[in-house]
Amino acid sequence: MAQVAQVLKQFRVQPNSTSLEEARKRTFEFFKLACRSIPSIMEIYTLEDVVHPSQLRASVLAEIRKNAHITNPKVIDLLLFKAMEELKNVVDHSKQRHHIIGQYVVGRQGLEDLAPTDPGTSDYLKKFYNSNYF
Amino acid sequence: MGLSLLASRALRLSRIPSRATQIFLRPIVSTRDLNTPEPATSAAPPPPPPPHRHPVGGARVHFPTPDDAIEVFVDGFAVKIPKGFTVLQACEVAGVDIPRFCYHDRLSIAGNCRMCLVEVEKSPKPVASCAMPALPGMKIKTDTPIAKKAREGVMEFLLMNHPLDCPICDQGGECDLQDQSMAFGSDRGRFTEMKRSVVDKNLGPLVKTVMTRCIQCTRCVRFASEIAGVQDLGMLGRGSGEEIGTYVEKLMTSELSGNVIDICPVGALTSKPFAFKARNWELKGTETIDVTDAVGSNIRIDSRGPEVMRVLPRLNEDINEEWISDKTRFFYDGLKRQRLNDPMIRGPDGRFKTVSWRDALAIVAEVVNQVKPEEIVGVAGKLSDAESMIVLKDFLNKMGSNNIWCEGNGPNPNADLRSGYIMNTSISGLEQADAFLLVGTQPRVEAAMVNARIRKTVRATHAKVGYIGPPTDFNYDHQNLGTSPQTLVEIAEGRHPFSATLANAKNPVIILGAGIFERMDKDAIFTVVNAIAKKHNVVRPDWNGLNTLLINAAQAAALDLGLVPESDRSIESAKFIYLMGADDVSLEKLPNDAFVVYQGHHGDRSVYRANVILPASAFTEKEGTYANTEGCAQTTLPAVPIVGDARDDWKIIRALSEVAGIQLPYDSLGGIRSRIRTVAPNLLEIDERVPATFSNSLRPESSQKIKPEPFGVTVENFYMTDAITRASKIMAQCSALLKK
Amino acid sequence: MGSVVRNALNSIKEKGITNFFRELRQQGYLNALLDGNLMQTKIHNIGATLVGVDKFGNKYYENLKVQYGRHRWVEYASKTRYNASQVPPEWHGWLHFITDRTGDELLRLKPSRYGAEHRENLTGQGDEYIYHSKGHALNSGQRDWTRYESWQPTKP
C-alpha cells in the first residue's frame, strides 16, 4: 500500500515514448501497478463482499484490452496518463464506493436480473410482478 | 420648475379646504373619483354596443312558456329572460357576474348582504339585484360609479367586523370575501374602533366554527332549514350583537351538515378534519365519483402527494346537484388506515406472513386447481367496480363455477329485468312526483342525496309521502302506514286510505328498499307492488314511478353483469371462496376447511378468516366503472397512487388466471370494456343514464306467500357502511356523537 | 474530632456493624478516602448547618464560622461522578451568593405550568447522551413518512 502510494506520489508527466515498444512496456508497468493497488482498493472501498480481486484485475485488463488496436505511441501515452489519473483518484479515495462498483464491479454489461425467471410467464405477468402501473 | 407648473400648483393649493372644513367634508369613499358619483343618465351619448357576452358559467335559460319572455337591458345590452327572474339572474344571463354573498341559486332569497347592489335607471337608489324581480324594459347598469360606490361601501361595512386573519384561515385562497374585497373593495379602511368578537359554537365533529369571521349572510341557516330539513341553526340577536348559532348548545344533526362548509362564503364554517392540514392551492383535484352509497355522487378528490386531503362535491344536476352527504365528504381518513399493503399467507401456525406476489398467486392457483368446480365461490364486495366484477366472473366461469354474486343483492337476485333493480324514475325525475310510497326503505340513511331530492319535492309540491317500515327519522312530513308487507296487500286491494292518495296522484312514485332483496318473500312483495303499480297507473309510457333504491355502489353493475349465484346455498359447500372486498358476507356457514382468498384494500372483517390476502387498490386509486342506483354508469379516476405493493383488482385476477393456467383473453382496461360491451353495453355509456328497456310488469307473478314479519332496517349506522368508512376515525366519532 | 468518633461509635451501637458500613459507603466516606475533594467536603461538613436538600439529593451546607465567601457549599448526591451542572437553578443563586433565599424558597416562585426540568450536562458521558438533531440517524424519534397505516395481522 505504502509502496503504491509512493509510486503514485512520484506520478508526473513522463517524456513521450519513442517507440511502440516503450509504450507497450509502460502499459505493462501500469497494469502491474494497478494490480498491486487492488488489495488496498478493496480495503478502502470495502469491496470484499461484492467482488473478488481477480474480477477487478480482469476488469482493468478489459479496459486496457479495449484499446489494444491503437498503435500510435503518443495516443497510448495519453491513454496511460488518463489511466494513471484514474488510478490515483481511486487510490486516493477521491471516489465513492458506488463509483467503483458501478464502473469496475458491475461494469458495462450491467446487473444481471437476479429475480427468478420463469420462461413460461407472459409479458403481462412479468409487468404485474414488477409494478401496478403498466 | 416651469412657471405654468408653479401656477397650477398655486391654484390647486387654493382649492384645498382648510383643516376645519376638511373634517366636515371627509369623503365617504376612499377611491377619489367615486366621491361624487353621478347617476348615469340616458342623455349621455350612447356608448358603442358592448360585445356579445355569454351567460355566466355557460348557463342555459329555460323558458317554461315562451310568451312570458321579457326583455331587459343589462349595460345597454338587450337580453331575453323568462318572467319571474330576478335582476341578478338577468345579469347572469347577460354574462355579467354580480358579486354576492347571501344569494345562492338553490336557497331562498334573503337579500341581507347588499353586495349585489346595481343601478337601475329611474330608481332613486341602488337596488339589491338578488331580491328585485326584473321588469320588462328595465335598464340595469352594473358598471356605473354608483354601483361601484355601493359595492365599495358594502364591502367596507362587511370588513369592519371581519378579522384580518386570512393567513391562518382555512378558507384563505377560496374565500368569496377575500376575492371580492380584492375586486370591489377599497384599498384602505377607515375603521379605528374595536372589532366585535363572537363566541365559537360547537356544531359537532365535522364543522369547525370561527364565528367572528361570520358576515351574517344566513346561507347556512337557510341551508339547514330548507335543504337539510333540520331547524338547528338560526340567527340570534340584532345589530352588532347578531350572530349565527344553535339556539341551545347542541350539535348539528344532519347527514348533509358538511355542505354548510361549501356554502359559507367566508371562513366562519370550515371543515374540522381538514383544519390546518393544507392550503387549497397546493391540492390536486381529481374529478371522480363517490362509492360509499349507491347514489354515485359526483365528487372532486383533492389530494396532496399520496394523501387524500379532502372531498368536495361536483355539480351534477341529475344526481347530487351540488351537495354531498357527510359520509362522502369525511370518510377519506379511512383510506389511510387499516390498509392492506403486502400479499400475505396464513401459515400453518395461523399467523400471517408477508410473501411476494409470485408466491401468493402460486398458492392460490394451486388450491383453485385442486378443488371441484362447483365448490368454488366468488363474492364481489360492495365497493367493486364493474371491470373487476366481470373479470372475476369470467375467471370463475372458466374454472367451471357459476357461484358468484355481489353482496347486498340477496341470496337469489333477479337480474333478468333491469327495471326491477334500478331507479326508473331517475333521481332528478323524482322532482315531478306528487305522491311517494316508500316500502322498506329509509332513504335518509340509505341514500342521503335521494332523500334530499324527495325533501325538495315535498317542500316544493307538498307531495304526500307514505312509508312502510320500522319507525325511522324523516326530515319531511310523512305518514307511517305500517311496518309489514301486509300493509302493501291492503293498499293493493284498495282497503288502505293511502291508496286514495296514490289514485289521485298524477305522478305517483313507489320506492322499494334494497333490504327487500334479503327477504325470502321478495318475489311475492314485487308481485304485490306490481299490482299496486298497475292499479294506480304508476308505470305509463311517459312516467315510470316504480323504483328500487339500492344501497351499494357495486349492486347495479353486478346485476347488469349477471352476477347471480347458481344456488343460494353455495357458501355452505364451498371449498374455495374468493372474496373481492366482500366484508359483509356472512362466513359463519362456511366449512372450516374452506380456503378463503381475500382481495381488498382494508383489513376489515373477512380478512380474519382469510388464508391468503391479496392487497388491492381503493376506488381513489384506480379507474373503474360504477353504475349508480338509477342505472347511470360513471367512472372513478385515480387521485392518489396505490399504497404499498397493492395492485388493481382486475389486474390481480387477470394475473391469477394466468398462473392458474386459464389465461383470460384481455390484459387492459380497454379489453375488459369490450368484454363488458357484450354483456352490459349500458355500462359503457359513461355519465349517461340508460333507462331500462323492459318494464317491470313483465316480471312473472310469483306464487310465493307474503310473510308477515315486518320490514327491517337495512343500514344500521349511516356513517359506517363499508370497509373504508369503518376504518375512518371521523366516521367513528360521528356515529358515536350523532347516532341517536 | 472526639465527638465524631463518639457519634460513629454510637451509631454502630444503634444500627449494627453491617448497617453502619453500608451507610458509610452510601454517604461516600469510602470514596472520600481516595477522593480529596469529597474528603475535604466531608471535613467541612463537620459543624456546618444543612440548609436544604434538593430533589436530586444534593445537600447544601452553610457554615458562617469559616472565611466569608467560602461559607456555602454543596455535597453532591453522586459520590463518584459529580459536577457543577448537577446543581438545579433554584439552588444556583444561593450557592453562588447571588441571593440569600434558599432553593426551597425560590422553588415556590416557579410557575407550575411551564419550565423545563433541570438536566445536568451530560457532555462526554457517552453516545446516548449526545444531542442528535431531528433528521440524524441516531435520533431515536425518527419520523415515519408513510402516509398510511397498514393493517396489522396480529391485532384482533
What per-residue confidence (pLDDT) applies to A113? 56
Average pLDDT over residues B614-631: 94
Instruction: Determine contact: C145 vs chain B, CB below 8 A.
Output: no
What per-residue confidence (pLDDT) applies to B3? 46
Q: Cα(B263)–Cα(B144) distance, rounded to whole angstroms?
A: 29
pLDDT above 80: residue A53? yes
Higher confidence at residue B19 or residue B216? B216
Q: Cα(B529)–Cα(B620) distance, rounded to whole angstroms?
A: 38
Q: Cα(C118)–Cα(C89) distance, rounded to whole angstroms?
A: 7
Q: Cα(B220)–Cα(B567) distance, rounded to whole angstroms?
A: 52
**Band of pLDDT at residue A8, cut at 50, 70 and 90:** low
Q: Cα(B309)–Cα(B639) distance, rounded to whole angstroms?
A: 11
Environment class of B489 (CB within 10 Å of its CB; exposed 0-12, middle 13-18, buried 19+)? middle
**Band of pLDDT at residue B176, cut at 50, 70 and 90:** very high
Residue B588 φ/ψ region, left for φ over 0, alpha for ψ in the -120 to 50 degree band, beta for the rest: alpha
DSSP letters for B510-572? EEEEGGGGGSTTHHHHHHHHHHHHHHTT-EETTEE-EEEE--STTHHHHHHTT---S-TTGGG
Chain B residue with Cα closest to C149: B337
- Three-class secondary structure of residue B2 per DSSP: coil
Instruction: Determine contact: B642 vs chain A, CB below 8 A.
Output: yes
Distances (CA, A) of B627 to A67, B291, B512, B632, B689: 67, 10, 18, 5, 9
Higher confidence at residue B396 or residue B7? B396
Instruction: Determine contact: C154 vs chain B, CB below 8 A.
Output: yes
Distances (CA, A) of C32 to A64, B604, C77, C79: 73, 66, 13, 8
Instruction: Identify all chain B residues contacting C147, using CB atoms and an 8 Å cutoff.
Output: 305-307, 336
Q: Cα(C119)–Cα(B36) distance, rounded to whole angstroms?
A: 71
Instruction: Identify all chain B residues contacting A116, using CB atoms and an 8 Å cutoff.
Output: 358
Which amino acid, B557?
A: A
- Three-class secondary structure of residue B626 per DSSP: strand
Average pLDDT over residues B337-354: 92
C near B: at least 3 beta-carbon pairs less than 8 Å apart: yes
Instruction: Determine contact: A119 vs chain B, CB below 8 A.
Output: no
- B365 and B443 together in one domain: no
- On whether the CB atoms of residues B290 and B319 are closer than 8 A, the answer is no
- Three-class secondary structure of residue C140 per DSSP: coil
Q: Cα(B132)–Cα(B111) distance, rounded to whole angstroms?
A: 9
Instruction: Identify all chain A residues contacting B670, using CB atoms and an 8 Å cutoff.
Output: none
- B15 and B154 together in one domain: yes
Average pLDDT over residues B585-600: 91
- B229 and B140 together in one domain: no
CATH number at residue B528: 3.40.228.10
- B502 and B443 together in one domain: yes
For A99, residues 6+ apart whose C-beta sits below 8 A from its C-beta are: none
- B213 and B235 together in one domain: yes
Instruction: Determine contact: C112 vs chain B, CB below 8 A.
Output: no
What per-residue confidence (pLDDT) applies to A117? 62
Instruction: Identify all chain A residues contacting B648, using CB atoms and an 8 Å cutoff.
Output: 132
Distances (CA, A) of B44 to B47, B77, B320, B546, B589: 8, 16, 48, 62, 87
Distances (CA, A) of B185 to A132, B158, B159: 51, 10, 9
Residue position matching grid coordinates 334530499: B452
- B20 and B154 together in one domain: yes
Average pLDDT over residues B540-558: 92
* Residue range of the domain that includes B696: 418-554+692-716
Instruction: Identify all chain B residues contacting A113, using CB atoms and an 8 Å cutoff.
Output: none
**Band of pLDDT at residue B7, cut at 50, 70 and 90:** very low
Give how far B158 is from chain A: nearest CA, Å: 51
- On whether the CB atoms of residues C63 and C71 are closer than 8 A, the answer is yes
Instruction: Determine contact: B376 vs chain A, CB below 8 A.
Output: no
Average pLDDT over residues C17-41: 89
Cell of B735: 356515529
DSSP letters for A53-115? HHHHHHHHHHHHHTTTT---HHHHHHHHHHHHHHHHHHHTT-S-HHHHIIIIII-TT-----S
Instruction: Determine contact: B356 vs chain A, CB below 8 A.
Output: yes
What per-residue confidence (pLDDT) applies to B393? 95
- Three-class secondary structure of residue C112 per DSSP: coil
Does residue B735 lie within any of the structural domains? Answer: no
Beta bridge partners of B689: B632
Q: Cα(B613)–Cα(A131) distance, rounded to whole angstroms?
A: 17
Give how far B295 is from chain A: nearest CA, Å: 29
For B525, residues 6+ apart whose C-beta sits below 8 A from its C-beta are: B439, B485, B488, B512, B516, B519, B706
CATH number at residue B227: 3.30.70.20
Average pLDDT over residues B506-512: 93
Q: Cα(B81)–Cα(B633) distance, rounded to whole angstroms?
A: 35
**Band of pLDDT at residue B40, cut at 50, 70 and 90:** low
What per-residue confidence (pLDDT) applies to B694? 81
Average pLDDT over residues B95-107: 92
Task: Say yes or no for a CB contact (<8 Å) between B305 and C150.
Answer: no
**Chain B interface disruption, residue of C145, C148, C155, most B CBs within 10 A:** C148
Task: Say yes or no for a CB contact (<8 Å) between C151 and B339.
Answer: yes
First to last CA, chain B: 82
Give residue-wise pLDDT tens across range B257-267.
999 999 999 99
In B214-353, where does DSSP find H-type helix? Answer: 219-222, 259-263, 326-330
Instruction: Determine contact: A117 vs chain B, CB below 8 A.
Output: no
- On whether the CB atoms of residues B451 and B475 are closer than 8 A, the answer is yes
Neighbours of chain C (3+ CB pairs under 8 A): B
Give residue-wise pLDDT tens across range A30-52.
999 999 999 999 999 989 888 89
For B716, residues 6+ apart whose C-beta sits below 8 A from its C-beta are: none
Q: Cα(B703)–Cα(C89) distance, rounded to whole angstroms?
A: 91
pLDDT above 50: residue B17? no
The number of distinct structural domains making up chain B is 4
C-alpha closest to that of B339 among A133, C147, C154: C147
- B573 and B489 together in one domain: no
Query: Where is the domain boundary, B668, B684, B700?
Result: B684
- B239 and B365 together in one domain: no
Give residue-wise pLDDT tens across range B645-679.
999 999 999 999 999 999 999 989 999 999 999 99
Q: Cα(B263)–Cα(B231) distance, rounded to whole angstroms?
A: 17
Beta bridge partners of B71: B80
Q: Cα(B723)–Cα(B134) distance, rounded to whole angstroms?
A: 52
Does residue B620 lie within any of the structural domains? Answer: yes
What per-residue confidence (pLDDT) applies to B175? 94
DSSP count for chain C of H helices, then E strands: 6, 3
Instruction: Determine contact: B647 vs chain A, CB below 8 A.
Output: yes
Task: Say yes or no for a CB contact (<8 Å) between B644 and C150.
Answer: yes
**Band of pLDDT at residue B30, cut at 50, 70 and 90:** low
Chain A residue with Cα closest to B649: A132
- Residue % of chain C over a pLDDT of 90: 44
Instruction: Determine contact: B340 vs chain C, CB below 8 A.
Output: yes
- On whether the CB atoms of residues B443 and B456 are closer than 8 A, the answer is no
- On whether the CB atoms of residues B423 and B629 are closer than 8 A, the answer is yes
Does residue B623 lie within any of the structural domains? Answer: yes
Average pLDDT, chain B: 88
Average pLDDT over residues B35-42: 61
Give residue-wise pLDDT tens across range B424-482.
999 999 999 999 999 999 999 999 999 999 999 999 999 999 999 999 889 999 999 99
Query: Where is the domain boundary, B103, B133, B160?
Result: B160
Q: Cα(C44)–Cα(A104) distance, rounded to whole angstroms?
A: 72
Q: How many CB atoms lie within 10 A of CB B518?
A: 14
Higher confidence at residue B125 or residue A117? B125
Chain B residue with Cα closest to C151: B338
ipTM attached to this prediction: 0.82
Give residue-wise pLDDT tens across range B715-734.
989 999 999 999 999 999 99
C-alpha closest to that of B324 among B274, B426, B255, B384: B255
Neighbours of chain B (3+ CB pairs under 8 A): A, C
Query: Where is the domain boundary, B160, B188, B205?
Result: B160
Q: Which of B617, B642, B655 lies nearest to residue A128, judging by beta carbons?
A: B655
3-state helix, strand, coil in chain C (%, to 5): 35, 10, 55
Give how far A130 is from chain B: nearest CA, Å: 9
Task: Say yes or no for a CB contact (<8 Å) between B647 and A132.
Answer: yes
- B98 and B156 together in one domain: yes
Q: Cα(B660)–Cα(B668) distance, rounded to whole angstroms?
A: 19
What per-residue confidence (pLDDT) applies to B37? 65
Give how far A55 is from chain B: nearest CA, Å: 33
Q: Which of C149, C152, C153 lies nearest to residue B336, judging by beta carbons?
A: C149
- B521 and B584 together in one domain: no
Instruction: Determine contact: B350 vs chain C, CB below 8 A.
Output: no
- B588 and B680 together in one domain: yes
Q: Cα(A80)–Cα(B476) distance, rounded to whole angstroms?
A: 93
Beta bridge partners of B96: none
Query: Taking CA C142 as the corner, what is the angle to CA C139 and CA C143, rounded to the nearest 5 degrees?
Result: 145
CATH number at residue B657: 3.40.50.740
What is the count of residue pairs from A and B with beta carbons less than 8 Å apart? 26
**Band of pLDDT at residue C144, cut at 50, 70 and 90:** confident
- B27 and B140 together in one domain: yes
